[in-house]
Structure 1
Amino acid sequence: MSAQFEPVWQALRDKVESGWAPGMVAGIRHGGTTEFFATGVRTLGRAEPMRVDTPFRIASLSKPVAGAIAASMVADGTLAPDDPADVWLPELAYPRVLTSPDAPLESTVPAGHDITVRHLMTLTHGLGVIVGDTPLARAIAAAGIAPGPIPPSMTSEEFMHRVGALPLEHQPGERWSYHTGSDLLSVLMARAGQAPLRQILAERITGPLGLHDTGFLGDAAELPTAYRPGVDGLEILDAPDGVFSREPVFETLAGGLVSTVPDYLAFLTALAEDSLLPAEQRRHMTSDQLTVAQREGMVEMVGPGISWGWQVGVTTDGAGSWTTPGGYGWTGGTGTTAYVNPTADFIGVLFTQRAMAGPEEDFSYFWEPLAAAL
């Protein structure tokens, strides 16, 4: 490894040695060369070391993969952004919308217009993470379809039935709402592609790029234990032989993928070099697709200077030392982050197995030393 990134690797060693996470793996591509680093162990109290090719549950880093599949379907004419989504998702036909976000479930009006494919790609269809205790938030939790790091434990058909039975929080196209649109887009792409999502993923992304360690199923012998911060330290979120070691009931790119740092870095490299998608579709995917009105309330979830493209966060003002206007990437609630900086010509990926405590947590312990090294 070059000496240039030694301060970055040392920062990761220090973070692991502090007890923040048992282990982590990172990759950096800069100036046409790629370096990887692994530190720590896969499970607390056990000696199995993290390896560069250790698979992780990548949570919402699955979303940019969904964006790339959707963009490829737009490129070949399978989808058009302004198609009504109910062509493939009849459960979303004739949606009702709450009269106000905190209104009773029965207090609704008809939606002003159809939900479109674009609404799902940009997460503006009207339903997602709800901050606060509202009747709709309680109904979403009771239905078992609340956004989280573990995919819903029901078939896609049952998921659609439960979503379709609820009103929207906002009118379609009015406001960005996180996560649920990615689940819906996953179902839509499988139905439009007339194949299981795992097959579409293989045909359009992992097969062409040779990503042999990316999919909906992890190997229990290789997966690290996933943890979340608790009152008395780290608690187990998912064991190596847990949810992600079994065939999923619902294949979703809202947060269902297992991948490795080399695979994910290869995906982002192909995206950035326009070897995965036609340049026009990649530009749509990785540029700001929201209006000022649609971004209202978004900063509380994603922080300042960030908007949304097709299933990926995009930088609008480059306020961070490692960010730039036109850069793009995202984070995953299980403790993963990735970013493409076209101006500084770098791509960074960091996977940990410690779930984020909330939107206020970030990965600056990785990004700041990287920016300084460049």
Structure 2
Amino acid sequence: MSGSGLSRERLDRMRDVMSGYVERGDVPGLVTLVHRRGETRVEALGTMAAGGTVPMRRDAIFRIASLTKPITAAAAMILVEECKLRLDEPVDRLLPELADRRVLQRLEGPLDDTVPARRPITLRDLLTFRLGIGAVLAPRGTHPIQRAMEEAGLSPSPNPPAIDPDEWMKRLGALPLVHQPGERWMYHTGSEVLGVLIARAAGQSFASFLSDRILDPLGMRDTSFQVPAEKLDRLPPSYRARPATGELVLQDDPADSRWGRPVAFPSGGGGLVSTADDYLAFCRMMLDRGRHGGGRVLSRPSVELMTSNHLAPEQRSGTRSFLGPDEGWGFGVSVSVRRFDLATTPGRFGWNGGTGTSAYSDPGEDLVGVLLTQRHMDSTTSPAVFQDFWTSAYRAIDD
């Protein structure tokens, strides 16, 4: 590809590798996007639905799950830049539900075996997932806090919560923290709290703030918390695979999709739908250090702060199934701190979504990749289709 430093022949090979996942029935269809130095290669492969005949389309709208998290973090940084939020200010002012926290003495202990939090939760804690509560990496129902989160509708999930933000915060505030604020990285819940905090700080709904300040300025016309009726034909079904057989089981049908109705809780952790081209617009803004067109969405220092590692080694303890051996965490994104395989370079940032999505940006290579599928991840470990996409993308670099 002229000027991009990408090999057309090797990108063709990527298409063949990705087509193999469709032909084997691992995924009904997928969209791949590789962008470098102003040039973009997109492939839409397979079909919109398992067993269907309608071809996958470039403008298919996918449930992007945790690819929502970087957008939520960017929204929070807009408010920091406007001095409506401060990174190290306690969030109690706007989130009184999180004041005067109690902390479990031990993970496996009863919910009333607690000590006082040593300090309040801050915005920085939410952005870095060090607020003290989140996904507990143990089999479902192993610990009382897991069962309590599940019963309250607070368990991390690719599906948005079914209760409104105020009720969600009330229930969260009724539970103890698992760790002291700032002590350990715990996945997901920080992004959900961020969405509520942003709405209260901005004085408008989280959805409208995202539209006004990020989605509309970037031209992300198909990115939202709800798919309008006239676009539902572009929403593929989503599937899970049966553990024993690999058979795809329908999880969300466009004909009666939860994303086809107004949402009770605009989930900052995983509620958005988007397209490959829309998400590229966000990634390019981040790669361009906040610039878009003739203006800015974020300042360069904000993007640099977001895409720096903020975790000390002890704070990453027990995160290996989420974060690779040389990955840290910034604000809403993982950050590579050392090259440890073909597709990872220092400074590369991005994340994966549990509904089968992956997007990373690499400033050193001036590279963006986006992979969208409609098959949920089977575990927190990146599936083979993700690994092969990224290997193929980096293999295509030709300079």
**Given the two structures, how large is their TM-score scaled by the length of structure 2?**
0.92
Residue 276 (structure 2) pairs with residue 261 (structure 1): yes
Rounded Cα–Cα distance in structure 2 between residues aligned with 1:300 and 1:207? 35
Rounded Cα–Cα distance in structure 1 between residues aligned with 2:330 and 2:21? 32
Contact conserved, 2:28 with 2:51, CA < 8 A, in 1?
A: no
Rounded Cα–Cα distance in structure 1 between residues aligned with 2:213 and 2:238? 29
Q: In the alignment, which residue of structure 1 is the partner of 2:4?
A: none
Letter in 2 for 1:316: V
Contact conserved, 2:309 with 2:330, CA < 8 A, in 1?
A: yes
Aligned runs of 1:196-211 on 2, under 5 Å? 196-211=205-220
Q: In the alignment, which residue of structure 1 is the partner of 2:151?
A: 142
Rounded Cα–Cα distance in structure 2 between residues aligned with 1:320 and 1:159? 40
CA deviation map 1:40-88 (0-9, x unaligned): 1111122221111100000000000011111111112121101111111
Contact conserved, 1:74 with 1:80, CA < 8 A, in 2?
A: yes
Residue 109 (structure 2) pairs with residue 109 (structure 1): no
Q: In the alignment, which residue of structure 1 is the partner of 2:316?
A: 295
Residue 64 (structure 2) pairs with residue 33 (structure 1): no
Residue 343 (structure 2) pairs with residue 322 (structure 1): yes
Rounded Cα–Cα distance in structure 1 between residues aligned with 2:329 and 2:345? 14
CA deviation map 1:217-266 (0-9, x unaligned): 12432210000111441111111131111111100120000000000011
Contact conserved, 1:28 with 1:36, CA < 8 A, in 2?
A: yes
Q: How many equivalent residue pairs? A: 374
Letter in 2 for 1:13: S
Q: In the alignment, which residue of structure 2 is the partner of 1:161?
A: 170
Q: Which runs of 4 or more aligned residues in structure 1 lie more than 4 Å from their structure 2 counterparts after TM superposition?
A: none
| Cα shift at 1:168 | 0.3
Pick which of 357-366 and 347-356 moved more.
Answer: 357-366
SS at match of 2:321: helix
Pick which of 238-247 and 345-354 moved more.
Answer: 238-247
| Cα shift at 1:195 | 0.3
Rounded Cα–Cα distance in structure 2 between residues aligned with 1:340 and 1:331? 12
Residue 210 (structure 2) pairs with residue 195 (structure 1): no
SS at match of 2:45: strand
SS at match of 1:103: coil
CA deviation map 1:256-306 (0-9, x unaligned): 000000000111001110203110000000110122221111223222111
Contact conserved, 2:68 with 2:269, CA < 8 A, in 1?
A: yes
CA deviation map 1:196-228 (0-9, x unaligned): 011110111111111101010124322100001
Rounded Cα–Cα distance in structure 2 between residues aligned with 1:194 and 1:77? 14
Residue 301 (structure 2) pairs with residue 280 (structure 1): yes
CA deviation map 1:309-353 (0-9, x unaligned): 011111111212111111101000000001111122211000000
Rounded Cα–Cα distance in structure 1 between residues aligned with 2:204 and 2:146? 32
Rounded Cα–Cα distance in structure 2 between residues aligned with 1:177 and 1:315? 18
Rounded Cα–Cα distance in structure 2 between residues aligned with 1:109 and 1:324? 41
SS at match of 1:168: coil
Contact conserved, 1:287 with 1:326, CA < 8 A, in 2?
A: yes
Match of 1:228 among 236, 240, 248: 240
Unaligned runs of 5+ in 2: 2-7, 292-296
Rounded Cα–Cα distance in structure 2 between residues aligned with 1:55 and 1:234? 19
| Cα shift at 1:31 | 2.0
Q: In the alignment, which residue of structure 2 is the partner of 1:237?
A: 251
Contact conserved, 1:299 with 1:306, CA < 8 A, in 2?
A: no
Residue 116 (structure 2) pairs with residue 93 (structure 1): no
Contact conserved, 1:227 with 1:234, CA < 8 A, in 2?
A: yes
Rounded Cα–Cα distance in structure 2 between residues aligned with 1:306 and 1:238? 32
SS at match of 2:332: coil
Contact conserved, 2:84 with 2:201, CA < 8 A, in 1?
A: yes
Q: In the alignment, which residue of structure 2 is the partner of 1:356?
A: 377
Q: In the alignment, which residue of structure 1 is the partner of 2:124?
A: 118
**Given the two structures, how large is their TM-score scaled by the length of structure 1?**
0.98
Contact conserved, 2:240 with 2:248, CA < 8 A, in 1?
A: yes
Contact conserved, 2:287 with 2:366, CA < 8 A, in 1?
A: no
Q: In the alignment, which residue of structure 1 is the partner of 2:358?
A: 337
Contact conserved, 1:313 with 1:329, CA < 8 A, in 2?
A: yes
Match of 2:13 among 4, 7, 13: 7
Rounded Cα–Cα distance in structure 1 between residues aligned with 2:136 and 2:307? 25
| Cα shift at 1:364 | 0.9
Rounded Cα–Cα distance in structure 2 between residues aligned with 1:16 and 1:75? 44
Rounded Cα–Cα distance in structure 2 between residues aligned with 1:290 and 1:227? 34
Rounded Cα–Cα distance in structure 1 between residues aligned with 2:344 and 2:166? 39
CA deviation map 1:9-56 (0-9, x unaligned): 111111111111000001111122112110011111222211111000
Rounded Cα–Cα distance in structure 1 between residues aligned with 2:342 and 2:52? 36
SS at match of 1:51: coil
Match of 1:177 among 186, 189, 192: 186
Letter in 1 for 2:334: G
| Cα shift at 1:4 | 4.4
